[in-house]
Structure 1
Amino acid sequence: MRICIYGAGAIGGYLGVQLSLAGQDVTLIARGPHLDAMRRHGVRLLLDGEERVAHPLCTDDPAEVGPQDYVIITLKAHSVPYIVEPMQPLLGPDTAVVMATNGVPWWYFHGVEGPWRDRRLESLDPGGVQWDGIGPERVIGCVVYAATEVSEPGVIRHLKYNRFTLGEPSGEKTERVQRLARALIEAGFRVPIRRIRDEMWIKLWGNLAFNPISALTLETLGTIAGDPDTRAVAKTMMLEGQAVAEALGARFSIDIERRINGIAAVGEHRTSMLQDLDKGRPMEIDALVTAVQEMGRMVDVPTPAIDVVLALVRQRARVAGAYPDAVTGFVGSN
């Protein structure tokens, strides 16, 4: 299969090495010193105490590549609108686009039953750039549970976890999603096929609360979950998010205390939003928080705690120059 990974940073590079070594025809789209290093020396993956090296095609120009069977997008959600136009040469009539991004996806309401069918979320996809330029019918949803980092240009370090949950927006186990799952499993990943909106909410549930609270307090997951006051704020936000999700038909397979305890067990980890704030990079506020507020208003579910924390974290991001509405070009990888 021809597989292009767009935004081949930590997660994308990890996927790229494993898929390439498993025999797939892989292209990585990247930029800057990381791209230069991958071109010169291959992509190096540090995994389970060994170094693996792959030599897929690495480029910053999708026009060099041509139509693909799958395009896996591993950028931050707010970066995707900027790559819709340049990615067009990758899209053939049967190309599937795997959205391996965090938060509420822009395609969330594609094909759903009821009054919100094909509703577009303005906070995630202003002007419908992704809806019109990618097309929700191409999408395979993906929830990423993997911890990796770019330790130096061209070098990916795997830290823990290797699960990439897939699902069609329709909930069907189509041949295209099963074919991709088989390829990823052969490359060494855990790849369940699930009701993807439910899976998205389980991950978002924690990110919705703990990411912005961490950016406001500058504290780690363990500290936030271990302090009764900040834990209570997080739980209130999560309960509001759950009410929104359930009003839209989502189902939660675990209870809230178990989810929070799982987050606490991660320990002294600095969330991705806090890391982005530290480095002055655009923060994933809209995909993780704003979209939940927008959906709450759609279904008349009040979100007072989310509203307050969102207002504060937006202000914090703007002061730091880290709110993505001022950014041009694609920034960061998932």
Structure 2
Amino acid sequence: MHLIKTLFLLLLLASGASRAQGIAPYEARLGRARPVVAVVGVNSGTELSDFLAPYAILARAGSMDVLALGTSAGPIQMRPALRVAPHATLAAFDAQYPDGADYIVVPAVAAPDDPVLLPWLAVQAAKGATIVSICDGALVVARAGIFKQHRATGHWATHRQRVADYPDTAWLANRRYVADGKVVSSAGISAAIPTALALVEAVAGRARADEVAAEIGASGWSDQHNSARFGRTPGMLLTALGNKLLHGQARIAIALHDGMDELEMALQADAFSRTLRSKAYGVADSMAPVMTRHGLQIYPDLDRSAAAGTVPVAGGNLKQIISQIRTMYGAGTAHLVAAQLEYDELAEANF
């Protein structure tokens, strides 16, 4: 039996290495005019860009009903910064949509064995939802048993762990995202962007995906990727150590206001909070929650009166944000942040 399973996984790996497979076009079901998409987070800790990047891109497309869900009531503590109020809990979603979602987006979370999230995902998959993991959301989906006998990927830093812990999944490298039937998975954090655009194409068509990509400053959503470029190098470790021990931590002001773009905000806060020389804080006119462009409430960390000494930064796409970090803190720190986000600084793509 072990030999048969090994041969099967080798065949999966071979087929995944030989050809790329996009996300299957959406097929309407359950009498719905539009697909229902749930982006789920664990309230105690969820990766910021993993959660907000897909949410922002899918909601911007305007062709899906996109809901942000938490495992329990109250705001979701995002990592490494900010707090977000979900639209509903998993239980409330189940009451409203007893037949389940069409797509579930699963970001990396602080507790990949969360006792509420794991069984809920298994039930959603059994009801026919396509499960989409982002970055180390792959650890959650794998633990729920949904990746068994499938091809998948995740953040470069956890590849060995995934291969060891979940040997009945064919873990692919050098892919920004992998689609295998009803399961889709992405590489590290920045891969949320091309993965979400690929999902827009599957639901709304190539033309609409092109429009959304242009709006957010992305040049495309190819699954091609060189994960071998990333690794924990001595230079990276020295930069991290130096930034932690030899520099103070600047307070970066992320300006919060009604109607703001979730993607740009998330990338700013995420990237600057990973330099080990700065931490992002959401700053607004008051401590009241602000409403984003696509209907999420974000809780400020500081109001203007308490924001003295914070450093404002410009927005932009990820390439522009990494460039700001390089200007402020040097090439070593920019590379450190890019590696954490699994963003290829040498690639020409602008996401």
TM-score, normalising length from structure 2?
0.36
- Using structure 1 for the length normalisation, give the TM-score: 0.38
More helix by share: 1
